[in-house]
Amino acid sequence: MKSDVVFGDEKLQKQFEELKNTGDKQLFKQLERAFENLESNAFCGIQIPKKLIPQEYIRKFGEITNLWKYNLPDAWRLIYTIKNNKIEILSVLLDWLNHKDYERKFKY
């Protein structure tokens, strides 16, 4: 199912833009590829069980009823939620983090 990819907040969007200009260009390209895949199929990631949704995301982004992870190379993870406003499907990007931080956040 096709979707529009949007950032959950301006801070995350700025971090992404900084990757392009001064940051990790390899991670930037991997994220761009992930965004293209999410645009083609919002459900291409792996769904995270609802009981594991961190309260931090709910406080920061409001009601989150589903959470997905998209595995990036080098053990990075892209975290997103899928929203439906009856007209279009949105893949809302919430975070990307390395595997160690991912395990810590999701208490693995």
Q: Identify the CA nearest to 12 among candidates 76, 95, 83.
A: 95
The residue assigned the tokens 């919002």 is 42
**CATH number, residue 47:** 3.30.2310.20
Domain total for the chain?
1
- Domain residues for 34? 4-105
The 10s digit of each residue's pLDDT in 14-43 is: 999 999 888 788 999 999 999 999 999 999
Q: Which residue has the tokens 């260009």?
A: 25
pLDDT in tens, 43-76: 999 999 999 999 999 999 988 999 999 999 999 9
In whole angstroms, what is the distance from residue 42 CA to residue 1 CA?
6
